Structure 1
Amino acid sequence: MESRPPANPLFLRDEELRQGIELMFYAYRDFTFESDEQLRHYQLGRAHHRALYFIGRHPGQTVGHLLSILKVTKQSISRVLKDLLEQGYVEQKSGARDRRERLLWLTPKGQELERDLTDRQSQRFARAYRETGAEAVEGFRKVLLGLLDPQERQVVDKRMRGGNR
């Protein structure tokens, strides 16, 4: 890796911003590639992976909560959940207080697939974190939070720190 002087965050040039955007595209491409390949074997896609991941992270959540995390339409999440339910990766139960609520859990089969997909991505993160060190990891976390819409930052940051799992 080429070492360059740190950019002054108050005076970023267009070129530095474009390089950040470009690196984000490349990183996302490589971050998702292996999982996308594996998902194809199951006739599933990236939307299914995202749903599996967040259902696994927040078991027993409502469909509405999943919608708010993923920021997709009801129609879109309905198709994804239909596939995951039919293939036995997710189970849905009615809420104890409100029978209209649909609560979501991964089945053992879903837990296994989610773990396999996430392990591949975790290995990529672990390698990058080892190569860059603790200070860079914390800086990266702050940059990612900074990319979120301002109203989402506190909610996500609290959730990430264990305040709302």
Structure 2
Amino acid sequence: MEHSHAGASHSESLLFLTDDQLRKGIEAMFFAYRGFTADPDRILEGMDYGRAHHRALHFIHRSPGTTVNNLLGILGVTKQSLNRVLRALIEDGLVESRVGRADKRERHLHLTTKGAELERSLSDAQRARMRAAYRAAGPGAVQGFRQVLEAMMDENARRHYQSLKESTV
């Protein structure tokens, strides 16, 4: 049942979303994610890489020299899972792991030229899709979309996201 109050602002009316409206939002998120990942999935298809490899490349590109531990926190995966992904990327010459200068136990991750080229092709495809969607929706919707996404993040994810927003690359 739709709730509506005479004189209620648009934002107040959003507080009374029905289960059907929420279900439609959930379904839209599923289909949008499928579209958002389709282009990179096609690029990675014949390379024995998947979305975990894509995410690792993205965040290593975003923060060159990031440590394995930092990447673990950003991706929210197990050490075993990340090690499998990094091993493949390093063996295939896409990522290099450098010993830390201050702490020899740390491993700092950098994309190689080959890794940067793959990351660029993956992100170019997603940027094109996002750019088209943002243009179609308009600036108000873009800001609202970001607010919704940020509100859905758990505290740990939000902290990593905020640190990335504050860094300049």
**Deviation at 1:7?**
8.3
Q: Which residue of 1 aligns with 2:59?
A: 54
**Alpha-carbon spacing, 1:72–1:16, altered in 2? closer, same or farther (3 Å):** same
- 1:9-48 paired onto structure 2 within 5 Å: 9-48=14-53
Q: Which residue of the partner structure matches residue 131 of structure 2?
A: 126
- Find 1:108's aligned residue among 98, 113, 135: 113
Report the aligned-residue RMSD. Answer: 1.7
Q: Are 2:90 and 1:85 equivalent residues in the alignment?
A: yes
Runs of 4+ in 1 over 6 A off after TM superposition: none
Aligned to 2:3: none
Higher mean alpha-carbon deviation, 8-17 vs 63-72, is at: 8-17
Q: Percent identity?
A: 51
Whether contact under 8 Å (1:63, 1:103) holds in the other structure is yes
Give the alignment's TM-score, normalised by structure 2: 0.89
Rg larger in structure = 2
Give the SS at the match of 1:96: coil
Unaligned runs of 5+ in 1: none
Q: Is the 8 A contact 1:60 1:104 kept in 2?
A: yes
Structure 2 segments unaligned to the other structure (5+ residues): 1-9
Structure 1 letter corresponding to 2:29:
M
Residues 66-125 of structure 1: per-residue CA shift (max 9 Å, x gap): 000000000000000000000000000000000110000000000000000000000000
Distance 1:50 1:155 in 2: 14
Structure 1 residue 155 displacement after superposition: 4.2
2:6 is aligned to none
Further displaced range: 38-47 or 74-83? 38-47
Give the match's secondary structure for 2:83: helix
